[in-house]
Amino acid sequence: MSALTFTLKHRPDQRVDLSPLVCHNLAGKEIAEIAALELQSGKAKLRVDSLFKISGNDPQNIVIKNSFGKLDFIGKDLHGGSIRVEGDAGAYLGMGMQSGSIRVTGNAGLYAACEMKKGTIEIDGNTGDFLGGALPGNKMGMKGGLILVKGNVGERAGDHMRRGTILIEGNAGDYCGSRMTAGTIAVMGQVGRYAGYAMRRGTLLLWNQPQLSATFNDCGAHTLGFLPILFASFKNLNTRFADAAVAFNRVRRYAGDMAETGRGEVLVKL
Amino acid sequence: MIINGVTIDATFAEAFPMKATRAIITAQNEKWAMISAQAMTGFATSVIACGCEAGIERVLDPSETPDGRPGVSIMIFAMGGKGLAKQLETRAGQCVLTSPTSALFAGIDGGKPIPLGKNLRYFGDGFQVSKVIGGKRYWRIPVMDGEFLTEATTGQVDAVGGGNFLVLAESQPQALAACEAAIEAMRKVPNVIMPFPGGVVRSGSKVGSKYKALGASTNDAFCPTLKGMTKTELSPEIESVMEIVIDGLTKEDIDKAMRVGIQAVCDLGAANGIKRISAGNYGGKLGPFHFHLQEIMA
């Protein structure tokens, strides 16, 4: 069995909703059936084979080649299996994902991994705003799983995040971890202004001192026993976070956001 | 059967099903992990009055512990799951939570999870922090020396309690020396504990008593000072009897521990005053697990 591969033949002008091309939806379908599936693109519906050359036969292992930033909803509600995106992904990558894994070799757009429940999303490039966040009007963002971004992320990463882990090797924009209810966001690079804005619980683990709001209170320097366990859990990941040399357990702890319940924390490496 | 001059009785030890769990205590150094572990497994020699039987399984290298610090593995055995959970939680709260620099982790998977730090978290008075790492929930409870880190639950498994053998010797020092040798060898066997003080019990019991309030009383058949006034099991030259009781996760674990223990005793042999190895049973009617000494040593 070889990976079910969708190679983009040309770049459409309109954005395309790729949500039907997920493993659990394609399982048991013949290539002809898959080719006849319709994808929403603006007002039009496009057959899959009008956009993609299809090859391979393993629907649990999907590859999207020549991908670009207008292919939205890749891996939406993915329930098992893996998707590899060669190139950029559009908005809502892995939205509501329930299990499985997604790997993007390029960048991802807005709302990547928003409201994901479980599984792993790995993005080699940068992502847009609201990574792992909640859709507008919703109260819960990411509820579990792991997001790994090797580049930079936009604003409001982890907005309304409920559980799970976001690892960012690069920089994070403003309002990182805003309105977080729980979970862990680790940022190796710089974070923008208003980190942890209105966070209730959860942990922002930072390599560099951020400019924190006045509503975060300094609790002093500490050696925390859970950090070695947290870092050990990254050791099998394809990331700099897996490197034992980057691990630390000595941090300065800021409690906040005191404008909320104040039970969240920003931990800054010492 | 005779090994190195020591007679192995044609009898068997009788053991019972129990519920067991294991926890890992770590600390800044082995000294403090051991202090905490000793406190947690204290007053836990027999379910008759302690509520559980507990002991230290072994010292763990930092590479074997979840947080990379020196640790000690302890096991607790009880007659039922509820009793086990209660004992575990009480002991964790009073003996590990309180112990400087300690952290507490699950040491076994399987079965219905029982609370380890799940309820201890309320000691944090609202300041406790939960972290789910690698699918396991941990609680960080703020305490005066920093943070007490504990896993929320640990596993409980079906186990076997009450494996035993008796060492019959010509003198008390010789019986004790033989038991010490046995315990040293048996501590190297995984998945077992010897819950009595130093692993050795000198007051083996029989079922029942002349006093109605008591369910168990001294095993007069093996008491050397009663040789002339009771139906004794002892020959004239036996002056002291000591027992080693073993709880293990499986029958095979206890088999192995009994084998190395009896072998260590026999290695001292008749030359060091060891005359016989026997075992305690209730006629085979009470416990489903029978450990036949001669089969084990065959």
In this complex, which of B126, B130, B147 lies closest to A225 when CB atoms are compared?
B147
**ipTM of the assembly?**
0.91
Chain A positions in Cβ-Cβ contact with residue B131 (cut-off 8 Å): 184, 203, 226, 230
B80 touches chain A (CB under 8 A): no
Architecture of the structural domain at B18-157? 2-Layer Sandwich (3.30)
What is the residue range of A114's domain?
107-269
Q: What letters, b where the CB count within 10 A reaches 16 and e where it falls short, cover B153-181?
A: bbbbbebbbbbbbbbbbbeeebbbbbbbb
Q: Which of residues 219-238 of A touch B (CB under 8 A)?
A: 222-226, 228-230, 232-233
Q: Rounded distance, CA A244 to CA A230, Å?
A: 11
Q: How far apart are the first and last CA of chain B?
A: 9
Q: What is the pLDDT along chain A (270 residues), one digit of tens a residue?
A: 899 999 999 999 999 999 999 999 999 999 999 999 999 999 999 999 999 999 999 999 999 999 999 999 999 999 999 999 999 999 999 999 999 999 999 999 999 999 999 999 999 999 999 999 999 999 999 999 999 999 999 999 999 999 999 999 999 999 999 999 999 999 999 999 999 999 999 999 999 999 999 999 999 999 999 999 999 999 999 999 999 999 999 999 999 899 999 999 999 999
- Name which of B247, B285, B254 is nearest B52 in CA terms: B247
Classify residue A140: in a domain, yes or no.
yes
Inter-chain residue contact A230 with B133, CB threshold 8 Å? yes
What are the residue ranges of CATH 3.30.70.520 in chain B? 2-14+159-296, 18-157
The total number of structural domains in chain A stands at 1
CA nearest to B104 within chain A: A225
Q: Rounded distance, CA A200 to CA A203, Å?
A: 10
CA atoms within 13 A on the CB side of A241: 32
> Does the domain made of B2-14+159-296 have the CATH classification 3.30.70.520?
yes
Classify residue A195: in a domain, yes or no.
yes
- The shortest C-alpha distance from B39 to chain A (Å) reads 22
Does the pLDDT value for residue B285 go beyond 80?
A: no
Classify residue A132: in a domain, yes or no.
yes
Classify residue A37: in a domain, yes or no.
no
B267 touches chain A (CB under 8 A): no
Q: Which of A120, A226, A237 to mutate to test the interface with B (most CBs of B within 10 A)?
A: A226
User: pLDDT tens digits, residue range B68-80?
Assistant: 999 999 999 999 9
Q: How far is CA A237 from the centre of its chain?
A: 15
